[in-house]
Chain A
Amino acid sequence: MEKINKIKNIIQALGEHEDSKAAIELLTEMGTNSPDDEIREYTAQTLIRKNTHEALRVVLISKGKGINDLSARVAMASINELLALKDKKEAVKILDDTIKMHSDEEVRNTARSVRALMTFS
Chain B
Amino acid sequence: MEIGKISLHKTTGLKKAEKSNNKLTTNPFGVSFKGNVIQADVFEAGKKSSPVNKIAEKSKLYASILVSGINNFNEAFKSRINSVISFGKKMTTDVMDTLERIGNTEIKFDMEGIKNKMFPDRQYSVKQLSNKSVGELKSLWNDIETTEI
Q: What residues of chain A have their CB less than 8 Å away from a CB belonging to chain B?
A: 1, 3, 5-7, 9-10, 12-14, 16-17, 19, 22-23, 25-26, 30
Whether a CB of chain A sits under 8 angstroms from the CB of B70 is: no
Neighbouring A residues of B118 by C-beta, 8 Å: none
Ordered by A's residue number, 7 sampled pairs between the chains whose C-beta atoms are within 8 Å are A1-B124, A3-B148, A3-B149, A6-B124, A10-B141, A13-B130, A26-B137
Pair B133/A9 contact, Cβ less than 8 Å: no
Give the bracket for the number of chain B residues in contact with chain A: 10 to 19
Whether a CB of chain A sits under 8 angstroms from the CB of B1 is: no
Pair B138/A13 contact, Cβ less than 8 Å: no
Task: Provide the bound-state CA to CA distance between A12 and B132, in Å.
Answer: 12
Min CB gap A102→B, angstroms:
29
Contact of A23 among B125, B134, B145, B149 (CB under 8 A): B134
Pair B144/A13 contact, Cβ less than 8 Å: no
Task: Provide the bound-state CA to CA distance between A5 and B122, in Å.
Answer: 12
Task: Provide the bound-state CA to CA distance between A6 and B149, in Å.
Answer: 12
Contact of A30 among B133, B138, B149 (CB under 8 A): B138
